[in-house]
Amino acid sequence: MTAVAQPVPATASAAPAAAAHPPALRDDLRQIAAWIADGARVLDLGCGDGTLMAYLRDSRHAKVYGVEIADDSVLQCVRQGLSVIQADLESGLRMFPDRMFDTVVLSQTLQAMHETEAVLREMARVGRQGIVSFPNFGHWRHLMSLLGGRMPVSPQMPYQWYDTPNVHLCTPKDFEILAARLGLAITARARLANGQPVNVLPSLRCKLAVYRFEPR
Amino acid sequence: MRFEEPLELASGARLGSYELRYETYGTLNEARDNAVLVCHALNASHHVAGRYAGENDEVGWWDNMVGPGRPVDTRRFFVIGVNNLGSCFGSTGPMSINPQSGRPYGASFPVVTVEDWVDAQVRLADRLGIARFAAVMGGSLGAMQALSWTIRYPERIAHCVAIAIAPRLSAQNIAFNDVARAAIRSDPDFHGGDYYSKGVVPKAGLRVARMIGHITYLSDDVMAEKFGRSLRTKDYAFGYGVEFEVESYLRHQGDKFSEYFDANTYLLITRALDYFDPARETGGDLVQALAPARARFLLVSFTTDWRFAPARTREIVEALVVNGRDVAYAAIDAPHGHDAFLLDDPRYHRLVTAYFENIARELAR
């Protein structure tokens, strides 16, 4: 699978050269990687087991740092020889000076942040550009579930209401409104379902949204 | 090993000749690139791992970390433990005979710094034919030496493994050291540091110094769990003897320590701790201080370590990231305080194991 979703032909600087043998990457990670320039300095917030970091390092020669709180994930990163800093995201961000990174990534974590606005502002401070991805709460299946009287549980939001880390779920439109309010300029957007861009009724049909932004 | 080339010290003093006692484990490979230097902290020595053959002596101080099948696997790595200058386990220190006077150095032994130790360690490496260490590692003051290596000899260290470290002591840290030193210096048996010829040892002072130090190595939680308010006596005795378990424990630690440790060495090593501050030469700028470093780093802190709290280690991590160095940093949620670096918490050891496995893989390439 080499097709890279790139719905918004934004700045050319971040144009991806499809890697020769890209490892299997989660859909949103593939999109994120496509927006990261070769050799960029990247901060991956909530980097998990380091999948994206390893990909960016090996295929993009990027200088990547990850921030992660979970012991097991930190260990996985160390096993791969990755630069990982064990910290919670909020304090993990505070430690970096302004514009330290070319790109700051927050993949599938925004919805679990308590201080959503503060995290986005910090991303814009620490990086020249930020990239976030999150599940679309407004996906039609979720709406059907709500119509049926139940909170949605889906592959991209696989949690029961009483046992979920997701405290700030939103739709792509919600995110765009918040970004505008925070003075963030959206420079690229991708709304994905099953790895493919969704151009018709994206608000209802996309499962994942990926945004790239810069401080205005 | 004896060194006859004089060592210029940070203080301006010079040590004409000196002895460094060291121990090795494992085998230096043909490429001579699998050497790991283990630096000791306040009270330890060159005896890092194992027991001496035929002796029931105490096991090495980091035996759970270094050895065959251990995180630093001596089947792959050639590990060197060295006793630092000024210590009291065989390397030249205050107890040694000053060749100029024919008497023990005592108070006249020069104050040495972490940088001086590192300079001496480099000479040992030269003699052993090690141009570049696969890793230099240590905990606490030992970690400070490893960090200093990356600044002073960036080309000679591939990896720096620094556990429970701070970039410099805080006022509170120095204050504890000062109290410990005051205890020693006010012992009537101290004789201004020249007690060797008097046939006495300032044991009482050393004991109190160790008791104070020991409190700072443990967390409040672990003390509460270990001792709580338990009494050794049936009830309050309404006196000042040992009644609480924690008193008994501390005194036992103090007694044990005062039997084998030298008081002048305690002064000297706590002073080396106080003075350590690589950013001092760069106007307090740690980023600039670490700019020469080329090594890759593993740093580990422990959440309950209040002596060198995780935030202190993070100052170093931040400076390394700004410098673009490769750095892995883990904050282990261990209950044991500063002492945790010596204990075998599985999360901590898994991490160090993984890190050294990577180093071994690099070497095999």
The rounded distance, in Å, linking the Cα atoms of A83 and B358 is 13
**H/E element holding B106?**
none
Q: Is A90 on the interface with B (CB under 8 A)?
A: no
The rounded distance, in Å, linking the Cα atoms of B185 and B261 is 15
Reference A57, options A32, A81, A76, A85; nearest CA is A81
- How many beta-carbon pairs below 8 A join chains A and B? 57
* Phi-psi label, residue B239: left if phi above 0, alpha if psi -120 to 50, beta otherwise: beta
- Asked whether the beta carbons of residue A82 and residue B328 sit closer than 8 angstroms, the reply is yes
Question: Under a CB-based contact definition with an 8 Å cutoff, are residues A165 and A191 in contact?
Answer: no
Residue A162 phi, psi (nearest 5): -90, 0
Reference A9, options A34, A37, A44; nearest CA is A34
CA distance B317 to chain A (A): 8
Beta bridge partners of A197: A192
How far separated are the first and last CA of chain B, in Å rounded?
33
- Asked whether the beta carbons of residue A87 and residue B355 sit closer than 8 angstroms, the reply is no
**pLDDT attached to residue A18:** 43
Among B321, B322, B354, the residue with its CB nearest the CB of A75 is: B354
Which tens digits make up the pLDDT trace of B7-59? 999 999 999 999 999 999 999 999 999 999 999 999 899 999 988 876 667 89
How far separated are the first and last CA of chain A, in Å rounded?
35
pLDDT tens, residue order, chain B (365 aa): 999 999 999 999 999 999 999 999 999 999 999 999 999 999 899 999 988 876 667 899 999 999 999 999 999 999 999 999 999 999 999 999 999 999 999 999 999 999 999 999 999 999 999 999 999 999 999 999 999 999 999 999 999 999 999 999 999 999 999 999 999 999 999 999 999 999 999 999 999 999 999 999 999 999 999 999 999 989 999 999 999 999 999 999 999 999 999 999 999 999 999 999 999 999 999 999 999 999 999 999 999 999 999 999 999 999 999 999 999 999 999 999 999 999 999 999 999 999 999 999 999 98
Residue type, B40: H
- Asked whether the beta carbons of residue A95 and residue B314 sit closer than 8 angstroms, the reply is yes
Q: Give the residue from A84, A95, A102, A104 with the most B CB atoms within 10 Å of its CB, the best one to mutate.
A: A95
**pLDDT attached to residue A8:** 40
Residues with Cβ < 8 Å from A82, sequence gap 6 or more?
A47, A50, A53, A54, A57, A64, A66, B328
CA distance B311 to chain A (A): 10
CA distance A214 to chain B (A): 21
Among A63, A82, A97, the residue with its CB nearest the CB of B322 is: A97
Among B330, B355, B358, the residue with its CB nearest the CB of A86 is: B330
Question: Under a CB-based contact definition with an 8 Å cutoff, are residues A191 and A156 in contact?
Answer: no
Among B327, B331, B354, the residue with its CB nearest the CB of A83 is: B327
Find the closest chain A residue to B296 by CA distance.
A83
Which tens digits make up the pLDDT trace of A65-84? 999 999 999 999 999 999 99
Give the β-pairing of B97-98 and B103-104.
antiparallel
CA distance A119 to chain B (A): 18
pLDDT of A207 strictly over 80:
yes
Token duo for residue A45: 């917030």
- Asked whether the beta carbons of residue A74 and residue B318 sit closer than 8 angstroms, the reply is no
Q: How far is CA B209 from the centre of its chain?
A: 17
pLDDT of A123 strictly over 50:
yes
Token duo for residue A184: 């963030």
**pLDDT attached to residue B55:** 67
A87-101, A113-127, B50-64: range with highest mean pLDDT:
A113-127
